[in-house]
Amino acid sequence: MPHRKFESKGVAVPSGRFSRLARFGGMAGGIAGGMLLDGAKQLAQGKRPSVSDLLLTPANAIKVTHQLAQLRGAAMKVGQLMSMDAGEMLPPEMAEILGRLRSDAQHMPNSQLQAALNAHWGVGWQARFAEFSFKPVAAASIGQVHRAKTKDGRDLAIKIQYPGVRHSIDSDVNNVASLMRLSGVLPKTLNIAPMLAEAKRELHQEADYKQEGQYLKRFAELLADSPEFLVPKLHADFTTQSVLAMDYVDGVPVESLTDAPQEERDRLMTLLVGLLFRELFEFRLMQTDPNFANYRYNTTTKQLVLLDFGATREFPPEMPEQYRRLMNAGLAGDREAARRAMIDISFFTEATPDHYQAAVIDMFELSLDPLRDNAPFDFGNTDIALRLRDGGMAIGQERTFWHIPPMDTLFLQRKFGGVYMLASRLKARVNVRALMQPYL
């Protein structure tokens, strides 16, 4: 069968350190020029604009989004992470703009893709395939996915990393952090060094496709007794540090199931919530990226497909017990026991002001509502998500005291929040208490 080639009007990824730095410089220069013009206009009208007001104009936000989307790699990933993790810290305009990055990835042009595959597989790699589609089936922050069929009959999904991504991670993270500081949306007193170090660590891990392949295999083994889940098989002979090959699996995006029968939506979210508890309490191994694109649903086999394991995290042995104590204290209404458990987990310290501790405990108690009754909880008929967001924003506005919990805790909270958001979007009804009970 001849190779199929599709026309691809992709946007080349700047792969050199200096070309990427120039993009950041151009972005900053364009923003600064826009600020001067906007500032002059407002001064002429008798207003005294603040620096952050000038930075967060729609025009500047569009510039940032466009440039980060073209840089891709860590620059785009940090924008995505900030839109999800720091929503309560960022002004709504910035959070909305960064949120667009979750769906704005552009793919490589054919010439750059060919050169990348020549480098990873060697010249003449096409001879191993009966068919290779040059039109990607998906494009994300650090790579894009293509469908291919091998000469020996395997139907594969092949994820190919953008050139230069791995080598640009540290500088990209530092540059995006500088943009955030420049914007004034983060307090100068906040030590974000641990968060930046962790962002770099996670991104280096996500850029190692050989390691992701090993996590893919581990989850397939851990879920071998659960046929309701489908983890694609790894194909090691086509996998390198920058290319990941796995079975191609049919499925629809989980967030597209908003009109599916109620029973199907309930079952899907029951599977996801149950998996979340197994990851924490049984496996101590969790895929921590809550991006909805990491899950698909096979409408024929009724299986939940798990796709992306780049952000997999192993938890320390004491973590399940710490969360077990916290959950039991919360469900028993014992605020003091919950406070001590939160200190052990490092949500805050003994020195944290009492009103801040109380606000965090209030949010935790609110988040337990789906667990209080041994009955299906209707995620489509509750305003808890909005109330949690408002509570987070209120805490975030207290800029004199910000405490960053340990990264394991932040990543776990991110996953909890993502599953909650999906359950709300699907208006699912889930007996969360029954799923949690075996671990309490």
Range list of H helices, 186-315: 193-206, 209-222, 262-277
Distance, CA of 309 to CA of 291 (rounded, Å): 11
Distance, CA of 169 to CA of 164 (rounded, Å): 9
Sequence-distant (6+) residues with CB within 8 A of 299 are 251, 252
Bridge-based pairing state of the strands 143-150 and 138-139:
antiparallel
Burial-class residue 439 by CB neighbours within 10 Å (0-12, 13-18, 19+).
middle
Question: 425: which 2 tokens?
Answer: 């979007």
Distance, CA of 169 to CA of 174 (rounded, Å): 9
Segments of 243-374 assigned E as strands: 243-247, 252-253, 285-287, 295-298, 303-306, 312-314
* DSSP reduced 3-state for 434: helix
SS (H, E, C) 46-102: CCCCCHHHHHCCHHHHHHHHHHHHHHCHHHHHHHHHHHHHCCCCCCHHHHHHHHHCC
Distance, CA of 119 to CA of 271 (rounded, Å): 40
Sequence-distant (6+) residues with CB within 8 A of 135 are 6, 8, 146
Task: Establish how many alpha carbons lie within 13 A of residue 336's alpha carbon, considering only the half-sphere containing its beta carbon.
Answer: 0
Question: 212: which 2 tokens?
Answer: 């992701």
Question: 52: which 2 tokens?
Answer: 């952050």
Contact indicator for 246, 233 with CB cutoff of 8 Å: yes
Name the active-site residue from 289, 344, 369, 383: 289
- For the question of residue 208 being annotated catalytic, the response is no
427: left (phi over 0), alpha (psi -120 to 50) or beta: left
Distance, CA of 326 to CA of 341 (rounded, Å): 5
Distance, CA of 242 to CA of 434 (rounded, Å): 42
* DSSP reduced 3-state for 170: helix
What residues act catalytically?
Answer: 289
